[in-house]
Amino acid sequence: MANTLAQADVERLLANPSERMRAEMAAKVGTAFESGTLTPTERRLAEEIFRVLMRDAAERVRRALADHVKDASDLPHDVAVALARDVDVVALPILEHSAVLTDEDLVEIIRLGSSDKQVAIAGRKIVSTTLAAALVDSANPAAVARLVGNEGAELSEASLQTIVTRHGEDVVIQEPLAARKALPATVLERLVALASDSLHAFLARRSDLPPGTASDLVLRIREQATASLLSEMTPPGEAGHLARQLHKAGRLTPSLILRTLCLGDLAFLEAAFAELAGIPVHNARLLIHDPGELGLQKLYARSGLPPELYPAFRVAIDVAHETPFDGGENDRQRHSRRTLERILTQFEEIGADNLDYLLAKLQSAPASVAA
């Protein structure tokens, strides 16, 4: 039978049969081993055969072996490592599929191996944060593109930030990165900024736009996108990291903070004030939510925000305090709409730019939310 092994199989190999016969033997033994139906004696014979085949001079034989044992969960570790370190055509199936290889094995191969080997590792069913970091450090665009498109890859925020820094303008990497199911808000914000920069460069080349129009338009689009991102996707624990990143990049603007506040995001407001004022977020929180006027006034002045916008911030904070989430479906959207409506009702001199934004948010609210 095809899956039956005997001492004769070993003897045939040692008798140095033809390359074709050795390749067929590799396929036969590999298939039998992977089936999990071998007896203990047959398994020992199979492992002996593997160690002969993995040193075979013929690439065809080693490739046949690798193809047929790549999914074997109990393949001897030394055999898996030998095949993984082989030439690409032999190694790639093992590198992409074998669960026998450890992160240590794979990291060494990433550092010493070829580009194709790195790409194969990036496509593994599970890629740990350690392995992902090594692939990112390899700076191989093809491997990074496959890595970010692999939902089984565990990418740390540090690795994601490195990817954006090195490859943020590479559309082959940018598109699958932006499509990942879960990304930290700090990474999403940088992607929004990069997209805005690309749009600005495009608009700036147009001769039919008045001077400064491209910059104003792009700034508004970027801030609207960032504010929506913050209100919908930022976990409370990430607000501080995001505020710090925006401040360092010069993107923590008064209008952005006000926009996010109008959408009911108090966590980001606290983080933004803490960053601008250079104080712990706990202190900023106490000052913002002080029942009197003095705490917010002093914090606002220290933050360096425009004095003329203070009344808008005061009203928006009061409305946010008085407009709770209701816990139902589309809760956040309804909360944002109620906040916007109350700000428009209570503060008529909010300013043309911010008023335009608030009106645009109301007009674009989904019908289900408006209802």
Tell me the per-residue pLDDT of 318-352, one tens digit each, with 9 for 90 and over. 888 877 666 667 666 677 777 777 777 766 655 55
CA–CA distance, 291 with 281 (Å, rounded to integer): 18
- What pLDDT score was predicted for residue 13? 58
CA–CA distance, 147 with 86 (Å, rounded to integer): 22
Q: For residue 210, how many other CB atoms are within 10 A of its CB?
A: 7
Most confident listed range (202-211, 225-234, 271-280): 271-280
* DSSP annotation of 238: G
Q: Is the pLDDT confidence value at 24 over 60? A: yes
* DSSP annotation of 164: H
Summarize pLDDT for 27-48 with one digit per residue, the tens.
Answer: 888 888 888 888 888 888 888 8
Q: Which two tokens stand for residue 232?
A: 């919908």
Mean pLDDT of the chain: 80
- What pLDDT score was predicted for residue 94? 97
Compute CA distances 263 → 43, 232, 332, 357, 362, whole Å: 64, 9, 9, 11, 11
Q: Which residue has better confidence, 225 or 97?
A: 97
